Amino acid sequence: MSAVVETSNLSKRYRETLAVNALTLTVQEGEIFGFLGPNGAGKTTTILMLLGLTEPTSGQVAVCGFNPTRESLEVKRRVGYLPENPGFYDDISAKENLLYMARLNRIPEDQARRRTADVLEQVGLADDGRRLVKEYSRGMKQRLGIAEVLVKNPTAIILDEPTLGIDPDGAIRILEIIKNLNRQQGLTVMLSSHQLQQVQEICSRVGIIVKGKLIVQGQMDELGKSILKGRQWNFLLEVRGMADGLERDLQSIAGVDEIEKRPLGWFLRCTSDVRPEVVDTVRRRGLQLLQLRSEDPTLEEIYLKYFREA
């Protein structure tokens, strides 16, 4: 396994703001890498730098072993890129759009025709290839976009928010296509998104970027542990009775870090196992304990937490 995308200390500055801040990230061959972060976190800027569409202020990038700023053609020959909200030439058919891209890639005409038909088939648009793009729905356009990055037969594809603005059904369909491409053709995929729950199933690894900084990268199950080192005790507490003042009491227990009110009870983030003390406190106040459940942090929680801090 070798790295398809490798950046080290990559930064991009726009006048006052640092859009991307010392980003070090690796995407391995054959994986689906989810690049997650809130809007404006620097995802698109990073992707643009990977493709040589904008120049980094400092730091190194290598994509397929090439420098995108100086050898952008080599990179673009190997990597397909689907921008957020991709546009097409509206008044020509989907097929002709794809053929134009194939020609720009210098694929011989007869091969291009075959390839075009193939990729339309792969994204389920085989029957709509002759229609004008302006008749396409948003979801279809997105799938056409995926077809188009496949035309050049890439070794890796970079998709910027591929599920943005698409209904859940359409989004699942697109993710399915991406998963199949990865499984069947061994295509390396890097996709950016702000919707963790949508993409977490298909990603083998994710990186979370907030305010231009990569907070964490790793496999999904490892992420929680690495990010919540030292505070991996989470409990849900539910009691019956008048609970006035209980929150203050709980706060005073050594090891309780944070208390969050939930519709039924409280959510406690702790630095150690404080269950005995919590049970004691509840009993002392004369309340009935309904449940005290350990809750492993889900990635979703980690993600939301960082979003809130951002």
Whole-number minimum distance, CB 32 to another protein, in Å? 20
Whole-number minimum distance, CB 290 to another protein, in Å? 51
**Which residue, 101 or 268, is less far from another protein as judged by CB?**
101
Whole-number minimum distance, CB 55 to another protein, in Å? 7
Are residues 276 and 266 in contact, defined by beta-carbon separation less than 8 angstroms? no
Whole-number minimum distance, CB 76 to another protein, in Å? 4
**Which residue, 145 or 212, is less far from another protein as judged by CB?**
145
Whole-number minimum distance, CB 89 to another protein, in Å? 6
From 187, 274, 283, 189, select the one nearest 232 (Cα to Cα): 274
Give the contacts of 202 (CB within 8 A, at least 6 positions apart): 32, 34, 175, 178, 179, 182
Whole-number minimum distance, CB 254 to another protein, in Å? 51
**Which residue, 54 or 234, is less far from another protein as judged by CB?**
54
Are residues 161 and 84 in contact, defined by beta-carbon separation less than 8 angstroms? yes
CA-to-CA separations, 63 to 34, 44, 189, in angstroms, rounded: 17, 16, 13
Whole-number minimum distance, CB 199 to another protein, in Å? 19
**Which residue, 72 or 232, is less far from another protein as judged by CB?**
72
**Which residue, 12 or 205, is less far from another protein as judged by CB?**
12
* Chain residues that interact with another protein, rule: CB under 8 A: 44, 48, 51, 53-55, 73-74, 76-77, 80-90, 100-101, 103-106, 145, 148, 152, 160
DSSP string, 168-224: HHHHHHHHHHHHHHHHHH--EEEEEES-HHHHTTT-SEEEEEETTEEEEEEEHHHHH
Contacts made by residues 171-175, CB under 8 angstroms, sequence distance 24+: 171/198, 173/124, 173/139, 173/143, 174/139, 174/142, 174/143, 174/146, 175/199, 175/201, 175/202
Name residue, tokens 């490798």.
Answer: 6
Are residues 202 and 178 in contact, defined by beta-carbon separation less than 8 angstroms? yes
**Which residue, 19 or 203, is less far from another protein as judged by CB?**
19
* Cβ count near 132 (within 10 Å): 16
Whole-number minimum distance, CB 141 to another protein, in Å? 10
Alpha helices in the chain (DSSP H): 43-50, 72-78, 94-104, 109-122, 138-151, 168-185, 196-199, 220-227, 246-251, 275-284, 299-309
**Which residue, 55 or 176, is less far from another protein as judged by CB?**
55
**Which residue, 44 or 193, is less far from another protein as judged by CB?**
44
Main-chain phi, psi angles of 294, to 5 degrees: -75, 130
Main-chain phi, psi angles of 123, to 5 degrees: -100, 10
